[in-house]
Amino acid sequence: MMDEQVSEIAEEPEDEVAEAESAEEASTDNVTPFPSTENHAAQLRMTEALLFAAAEPLDIDSIAARLPDGADVGALIEDLQKLYEMRGVNLVRLADKWMFRTAEDLAFLMEREAIKQRRLSRAAMETLAIISYHQPVTRAEIEEIRGVSVSKGTIDVLMETSWVRLRGRRRTPGRPVTYGTTEEFLVHFGLESVGDLPGHDELRAAGLLEANLPADFVVPVPSADGGDGDGDFSDDEETSEEYGQAQDVHLEEATEEDTEA
């Protein structure tokens, strides 16, 4: 009888240990284990490599598809953002996608100035020649000399190149603006003044004039002194307008013509 009691007492601690172990296992199953530091670091490197090598921004799903199952892409992105926050490149989100981009305060390092060569059209060259020899000249006068209408953007192109500028307003009904050449025009063509432009004999010798020209054809002698319609923008503060205002009106008129067309 005593032996049976001792046996039962000896068995009870083993049952208690087994129950404790099973309870511990159950509690462990209910807790999601965090990734180890080594796994997180490896996934961080993977994410960094993906974003660095990608030819275009990547969304969360694209990144997750390349990483091991269960990777917390959101946490990885957040850690990478902090890691690159003060570096030369930053991890930024654009259109709900992620990419590395040069830090905004270093954007000036990426700038590069380049001279873009642009060939003027024949109409623009003819218009420039008329302006240079007949300045100050109005648009209507340019069209009369050429025999055809001047394209709406031709004079604007010449003004963008800084070779042509507004000279003033002609003292005629409508007060049309006149055009003339600039210092940049002289510098580009190596002229000291517009008076150094080639004359009739020089143009003929260069083969730029036809042999069967009308008898009354003459090449005007350009002058920088100007004439009617020159320098009328700011001589009198009460009656004259500023040059910038006249240029704005010119651009507005060109825009209206484009809209009507």
Res. 238: pLDDT tops 60: no
User: Domain 122-260 belongs to what topology?
Assistant: Arc Repressor Mutant, subunit A (1.10.10)
Secondary structure class of 98 (helix, strand, coil): strand
Establish how many alpha carbons lie within 13 A of residue 112's alpha carbon, considering only the half-sphere containing its beta carbon.
Answer: 3
Res. 169: pLDDT tops 70: yes
Mutual angle of helices 139-146 and 122-134, in 10-degree steps: 110
Res. 98: pLDDT tops 80: yes
Joined tokens for residue 248: 């704005």
Better-predicted residue by pLDDT, 31 or 156: 156
* CATH 1.10.10.10 matches 37-110: yes
Over residues 45-67, the mean pLDDT reads 91
In the chain, ranges of CATH 1.10.10.10 domains: 37-110, 122-260
Better-predicted residue by pLDDT, 255 or 239: 255
Over residues 217-225, the mean pLDDT reads 67
Res. 28: pLDDT tops 90: no
Res. 50: pLDDT tops 90: yes
pLDDT given for residue 239 in this prediction: 42
Least confident range from 173-182, 233-242, 246-255: namely 233-242
Least confident range from 193-197, 219-223, 226-230, 247-251: namely 247-251
Query: Long-range contact list for 237-245, CB < 8 A, 24+ apart?
Result: 243/166
> Measured between alpha carbons, how far apart are the two ends of the chain, in Å?
119
- pTM, whole model, 2 decimals? 0.48
Tens of pLDDT, residues 112-152: 877 677 788 888 988 998 898 888 888 988 998 888 888 76
Query: What is the H or E stretch that residue 89 is in?
Result: strand 89-94
Is 138 within 8 Å of 229 (Cβ atoms)? yes
pLDDT given for residue 33 in this prediction: 47
